[in-house]
């Protein structure tokens, strides 16, 4: 560890908790810059009350209560004062104080949040760090001097509840980023700009994939090109499920509230449902397919010989998401899932979850997407969950075993389980590295009991089935949103809304271009025709911006030879080939199954 960099007392502090020295160094740098920001804010607003100011991925933030909302001009002024503090090269001075002394100190400065924090710290002492006239409660570690923190930028202002609880007061949060070198800072800012170009909301509009309208918040319109992507994903998934023992059903979208009372959604999920009244009855749009599938299972006497019974459904679902959380395709109110409910015996859980994890791996491999698994288990307060704690223990253990049996890395998160059971979620990142949940495998010991579901086992006894709720894409909407960003809009041939575009050199060869277009269309390919009175360069530019995989240039030479000059989206001019040869090639590329 560079001794110049760190505070003497901090050199041994916590380094072993980090995967590398660089991570440790970045942690200190970010945490220290957060203190510098707080010191600058205190100069401008002496009455500020500080919350917490931790380092985070790529930067840091500090939460604070201020007399008025911050403006972008404030950020510039804070940055200016931070640069002064950096230039001064103030030393980070660590001290250990008795709690009494700390309480007195922060009380005299009306730092209510710090007092709350001190009271929550075990032991008799706390540590503080001082840079010049700014002293903060802090466990450390920090860099030696503020001059280490040169390459920073404040990035945004946001609101955040004190201690993350929406019943607590909302503080103002300033986000910033900081790096060891100027180049790294610039690279980081550049990468963010680049990532914004891949934003699915921007590309969705530019590529005519989907649109939204203020009269239907949270409900995307799928335009012709987006609908091709949507339906292609549906078709490939259906084909795979059909090969893997699933049957598809279509249940109603609108149900009497009694269904949801029975399922438990009325008690636990009503706030997220669209509910209305008709004929003195209360109805709800289904937010999930599971209750309908429970009715299908319960509609007749079932035998163990029917299990596993895998009911798939892609119906439209509605969830009332709070207005502030809607976002593009990744958080919507109306969507479809590649949903299925698998009814099994308790003995079949391990094998079924194993098989499912295999399907998941197969699908995601097709897109080359990276992901991680999260095992969500229940929290400490069992009253939030339905059913016997012993059943929960069993369910949680079975999911962990299946992950381990498949050699999959996962993290366990307490308190994230559904009210009816634990689950394995699959997380992926969008282009800005924000994480989203896609696939999910949820064990459920509760819902079948609520619906009184039974099957007759091999001993002619009645038994209660276990249900697995599962989706591989998650929702089509969110999956496509992620996929657009993953490919930056340049879909592979099998998924591309337009697989090839025929471009005529001039009007003289427009007839031949049209002939090629009709020939390819008749072969079942998705083709567009551009015979505008424009230069070939302009047509290529447009097709390239539309991210069409193949441009087929047709001029006099090609008409003569019954050929097309192929230009690849990725590789440029590939020369002329016979029409039939091109058809064979593109069909080979479009031939695809999970």
Using CB under 7 A as the binding rule, the residues of this chain from 268 to 327 that contact RNA are 319, 321-327
CB of 312 to RNA, least distance (A): 15
Among 114, 333, 501, 526, binds RNA (CB under 7 A): 333
Q: Residue 414's CB: how many other CB atoms inside 10 A?
A: 11
Per-position DSSP letters for 167-196, written without gaps between them: TSPEEEEEEEEEESSHHHHHHHHHHHHHHH
Q: For residue 569, which of 552, 591, 583, 590 has the smallest C-alpha distance?
A: 552
> Does residue 471 interact with RNA by CB under 7 A?
yes
35 is annotated as an active-site residue? no
- Positions 128 through 147 that interact with RNA (CB under 7 A): none
Beta bridge mates, 528: 501
Task: Name the residue nearer to RNA (CB basis): 76 or 325.
Answer: 325
Task: Name the residue nearer to RNA (CB basis): 328 or 465.
Answer: 328
> Does residue 429 interact with RNA by CB under 7 A?
no
310 is annotated as an active-site residue? no
- Positions 189 through 248 that interact with RNA (CB under 7 A): 201, 205, 212, 214, 217-218
CB of 318 to RNA, least distance (A): 9
> Does residue 159 interact with RNA by CB under 7 A?
yes
Task: State the Cα–Cα distance between residues 451 and 464, nearest whole angstrom.
Answer: 10
337 is annotated as an active-site residue? yes
- Positions 553 through 572 that interact with RNA (CB under 7 A): 553, 555-558, 565, 567, 572
Task: Name the residue nearer to RNA (CB basis): 148 or 314.
Answer: 314
Q: For residue 558, which of 533, 534, 579, 532 has the smallest C-alpha distance?
A: 579
CB of 368 to RNA, least distance (A): 19
> Does residue 478 interact with RNA by CB under 7 A?
yes
Q: In this structure, what is the dihedral angle of CA atoms 521, 527, 531, 536, given to the nearest 10 degrees?
A: -140
Q: For residue 430, which of 176, 191, 198 has the smallest C-alpha distance?
A: 198
CB of 580 to RNA, least distance (A): 18
Residues of 253-267 as b/e, b for ≥16 C-beta within 10 angstroms? eebebebbebbbbbe
Contact segment (CB under 7 A) with RNA among 80-88, 119-127, 160-168, 224-232 equals 160-168
Phi, psi torsion values for 452, nearest 5 degrees: 65, 35
- Positions 93 through 112 that interact with RNA (CB under 7 A): none
> Does residue 69 interact with RNA by CB under 7 A?
yes
Per-position DSSP letters for 261-284, written without gaps between them: HHHTHHHHTGGGS-EEEETTEEEE
- Positions 532 through 551 that interact with RNA (CB under 7 A): 533-538, 540-541, 544-545, 551
> Does residue 328 interact with RNA by CB under 7 A?
yes
Q: Residue 273's CB: how many other CB atoms inside 10 A?
A: 19
149 is annotated as an active-site residue? no
Q: For residue 495, which of 314, 226, 199 has the smallest C-alpha distance?
A: 226
279 is annotated as an active-site residue? no
Task: State the Cα–Cα distance between residues 138 and 57, nearest whole angstrom.
Answer: 19
Provide the mask over 435-454, with x wherever binding to RNA is found by CB under 7 A and - wherever it is not. Answer: -xxx-x--------------
Task: Name the residue nearer to RNA (CB basis): 101 or 201.
Answer: 201
- Positions 177 through 196 that interact with RNA (CB under 7 A): none
Alpha-carbon torsion (243, 247, 251, 257), positive or negative: negative
> Does residue 34 interact with RNA by CB under 7 A?
no
């Amino acid at each position: 560890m560079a001794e110049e960099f760190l505070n003497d007392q901090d050199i041994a502090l916590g380094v072993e908790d980090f995967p590398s020295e660089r991570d440790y160094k970045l942690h200190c740098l970010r945490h220290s810059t957060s203190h510098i920001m707080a010191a600058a804010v205190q100069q401008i607003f002496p009455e500020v009350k500080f919350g917490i100011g931790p380092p985070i991925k790529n930067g840091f933030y500090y939460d604070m209560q201020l007399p008025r909302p911050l403006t972008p001009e404030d950020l510039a002024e804070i940055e200016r004062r931070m640069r002064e503090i950096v230039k001064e090269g103030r030393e980070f001075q660590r001290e250990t104080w008795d709690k009494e002394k700390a309480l007195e100190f922060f009380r005299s400065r009306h730092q209510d949040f710090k007092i709350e924090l001190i009271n929550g710290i075990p032991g008799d002492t706390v540590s503080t760090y001082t840079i010049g006239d700014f002293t903060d409660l802090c466990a450390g570690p920090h860099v030696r001097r503020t001059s280490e923190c040169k390459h920073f930028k404040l990035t945004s202002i946001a609101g955040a509840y004190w201690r993350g609880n929406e019943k607590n007061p909302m503080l103002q949060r300033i986000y910033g980023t900081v790096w060891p070198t100027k180049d790294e800072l610039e690279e980081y800012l550049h990468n963010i700009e680049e990532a914004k170009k891949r934003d699915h909301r921007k590309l969705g509009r530019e590529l005519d994939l989907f649109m939204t309208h203020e009269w239907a918040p949270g409900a995307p319109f799928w335009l012709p090109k987006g609908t091709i992507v949507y339906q292609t994903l549906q078709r490939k998934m259906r084909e795979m499920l059909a090969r893997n023992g699933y049957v598809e059903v279509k249940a109603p979208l609108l149900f009497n509230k009694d269904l949801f009372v029975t399922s438990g959604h009325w008690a636990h999920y009503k706030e997220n449902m669209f509910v209305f009244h008709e004929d003195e009855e209360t109805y709800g749009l289904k937010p999930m397919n599971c209750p309908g599938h429970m009715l299908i299972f319960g509609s007749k006497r079932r035998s163990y010989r029917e299990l596993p019974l895998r009911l798939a459904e892609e119906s439209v679902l509605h969830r009332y998401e709070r207005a502030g959380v809607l976002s593009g395709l990744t958080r919507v109110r109306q969507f479809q899932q590649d949903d299925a409910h698998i009814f099994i015996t308790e003995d079949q859980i391990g094998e079924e979850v194993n098989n499912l994890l295999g399907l998941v791996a197969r699908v995601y491999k097709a897109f080359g997407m990276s992901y991680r698994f999260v095992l969500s288990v229940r929290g400490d307060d069992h009253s939030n969950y339905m059913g016997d704690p012993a059943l929960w223990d069993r369910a949680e253990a079975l999911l962990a075993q299946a992950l381990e049996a498949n050699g999959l890395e996962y993290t366990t998160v307490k308190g994230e389980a559904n009210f009816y059971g634990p689950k394995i979620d699959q997380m992926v990142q969008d282009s800005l590295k924000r994480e989203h949940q896609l696939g999910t495998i949820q064990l459920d010991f509760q819902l079948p009991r609520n619906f009184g579901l039974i099957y007759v086992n091999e001993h002619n006894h009645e038994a209660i089935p276990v249900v697995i709720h599962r989706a591989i894409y998650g929702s089509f909407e969110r999956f496509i949103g992620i996929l657009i960003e993953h490919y930056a809009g340049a879909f592979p041939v099998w998924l591309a809304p337009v697989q090839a575009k025929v471009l005529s050199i001039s009007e003289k060869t427009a007839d031949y271009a049209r002939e090629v277009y009709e020939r390819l269309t008749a072969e079942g390919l998705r083709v567009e025709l551009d015979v505008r009175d424009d230069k070939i360069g302009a047509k290529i530019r447009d097709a390239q911006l539309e991210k069409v995989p193949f441009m087929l240039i047709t001029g006099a030479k090609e008409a003569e030879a019954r050929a097309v000059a192929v230009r690849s989206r990725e590789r440029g001019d590939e020369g002329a080939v016979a029409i039939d040869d091109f058809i064979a090639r593109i069909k080979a590329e479009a031939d695809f199954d999970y």
